[in-house]
């Protein structure tokens, strides 16, 4: 049975398993006139006055971290704080285990479900099929990659990145999941380097990841610079290599390198213990700024300030680590 509401197709179908009427909207058609509403979605007429220009749209392909400090939760909060429309496609669910030294319990999302999320997101926000821009409709052009966690997920995500030519692919190369079986972790690291790193336009390795990606030992700012340069040479991407609390000295030092500019970004350390969500929020802030049109260097500077303020205003919990507060710059 089909009926039409405005110019949007509305289909009602009987689902014998669920014993109720399902309301299905054709995903290829948009609501133009008359408001419509159901349990899940609300649309208003395009004639309704718009309160603000459409925000830039950004996607994070990342894991859920149940306590809300890291992962997709940190990314979405950062996106919102920096004024972009955030979307999260989940790759895995991480639950720290308070009964086992807060190691990660890691459950991958089914590959088909990851592919389905990416399909839905790119159909909704990718370029129009005819390639023409539609007034008022933002186009998803900037993606952040967080925890992928398995070689299978890496292949699924690499396929989606290759099928959609995003201008900005920000890779937070999450290489190790605490408590993961070492052989599996090694396979994942190698797949990430082989399949995702070459597609990245901006990479944000921490101290450990920068050593792993560059093959260099990092003991001070000079070796952090050498690692950033090496990672740029391997990947072609802009690099923000983080010394964080791992390098000695009063400042948390990061190095930016994009093939032309080598800049040391420095801020006074806030304590000597890493804060949960700092890496995710830094990469997410870079992502938001790039989506708004900032240069890679300006995006790195803004992200560093954002994370420094978030660490100063961190949130304590029953876990042995604090979480960054994305509202720190308010």
Give the 3-state secondary structure of residue 27.
Answer: coil
DSSP 236-253: -SEEEEEEETTSSSSEEE
In this structure, what are the phi and psi dihedrals at residue 34, rounded to the nearest 5 degrees? 75, 140
Q: Does 147 bind ligand PXL (CB under 6 A)?
A: yes
Q: Using the 8-state DSSP alphabet, how is residue 41 labeled?
A: -
Q: Does 296 bind ligand PXL (CB under 6 A)?
A: no
Strands 42-43, 251-257: pairing kind: unpaired
Residue closer to ligand PXL (CB basis): 95 or 165: 95
Contact call for residues 138 and 124 (beta carbons, < 8 A):
no
Min separation Cβ 58 and ligand PXL, Å: 16
Give the 3-state secondary structure of residue 2.
Answer: strand
Among 31, 58, 70, 140, binds ligand PXL (CB under 6 A): 70
Contact call for residues 27 and 15 (beta carbons, < 8 A):
no
Q: Does 196 bind ligand PXL (CB under 6 A)?
A: no
Residue closer to ligand PXL (CB basis): 31 or 285: 285
Q: Does 146 bind ligand PXL (CB under 6 A)?
A: yes
Min separation Cβ 6 and ligand PXL, Å: 40
Q: Does 58 bind ligand PXL (CB under 6 A)?
A: no
Count, residues in the chain? 330
Q: Does 71 bind ligand PXL (CB under 6 A)?
A: yes
In sequence order, the 6+-apart residues with CB closer than 8 A to the CB of 134 are 128
Among 88, 157, 174, 228, binds ligand PXL (CB under 6 A): 174
Q: Does 323 bind ligand PXL (CB under 6 A)?
A: no
**Angle at the Cα of 48 (from 47 to 51), degrees rounded to 5?**
130
Among 94, 114, 283, 309, binds ligand PXL (CB under 6 A): 94
Q: Does 87 bind ligand PXL (CB under 6 A)?
A: no
* C-alpha span between 26 and 10 (Å, rounded): 7
Q: Does 279 bind ligand PXL (CB under 6 A)?
A: yes
Min separation Cβ 40 and ligand PXL, Å: 26
Residue closer to ligand PXL (CB basis): 63 or 328: 63
List residues binding ligand PXL (CB under 6 A). Answer: 62-63, 65, 70-71, 94, 146-147, 174, 279-280
């Amino acid at each position: 049975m089909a009926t039409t509401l405005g110019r949007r197709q509305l289909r009602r179908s009987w689902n014998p398993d669920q014993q109720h009427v399902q309301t299905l909207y054709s995903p290829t058609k948009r609501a133009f006139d008359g408001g419509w509403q159901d349990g899940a979605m609300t649309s208003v007429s395009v004639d309704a006055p718009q309160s603000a220009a459409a925000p830039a749209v950004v996607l994070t392909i990342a894991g859920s971290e149940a306590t809300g400090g890291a992962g997709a939760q940190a990314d979405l909060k950062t996106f919102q704080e920096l004024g972009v429309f955030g979307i999260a496609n989940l790759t895995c669910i991480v639950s720290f285990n308070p009964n086992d030294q807060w190691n990660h319990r890691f459950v991958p999302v089914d590959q088909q479900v990851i592919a389905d999320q990416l399909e839905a997101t790119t159909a909704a926000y990718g370029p129009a099929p005819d390639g023409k821009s539609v007034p008022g409709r933002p186009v998803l052009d900037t993606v952040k990659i967080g925890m992928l966690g398995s070689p299978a997920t890496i292949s699924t995500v690499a396929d989606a990145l290759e099928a959609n030519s995003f201008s900005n692919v920000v890779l937070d190369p999450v290489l190790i999941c605490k408590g993961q079986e070492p052989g599996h972790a090694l396979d994942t690291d190698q797949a990430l380097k082989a399949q995702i790193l070459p597609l990245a336009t901006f990479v944000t390795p921490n101290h450990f990841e920068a050593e792993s990606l560059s093959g260099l030992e990092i003991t001070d700012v000079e070796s952090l610079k050498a690692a950033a340069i090496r990672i740029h040479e391997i990947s072609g991407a802009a690099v923000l290599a983080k010394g964080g609390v791992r390098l000695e000295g009063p400042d948390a030092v990061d190095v930016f390198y994009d093939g032309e500019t080598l800049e040391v970004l420095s801020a006074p350390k806030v304590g000597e213990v890493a804060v949960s969500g700092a890496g995710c929020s830094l990469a997410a802030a870079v992502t938001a700024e790039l989506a708004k049109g900032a240069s890679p260097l300006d995006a790195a500077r803004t992200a560093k300030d954002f994370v420094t303020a978030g660490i100063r205003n961190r949130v304590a919990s029953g876990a042995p680590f604090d979480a960054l507060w994305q509202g720190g710059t308010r």
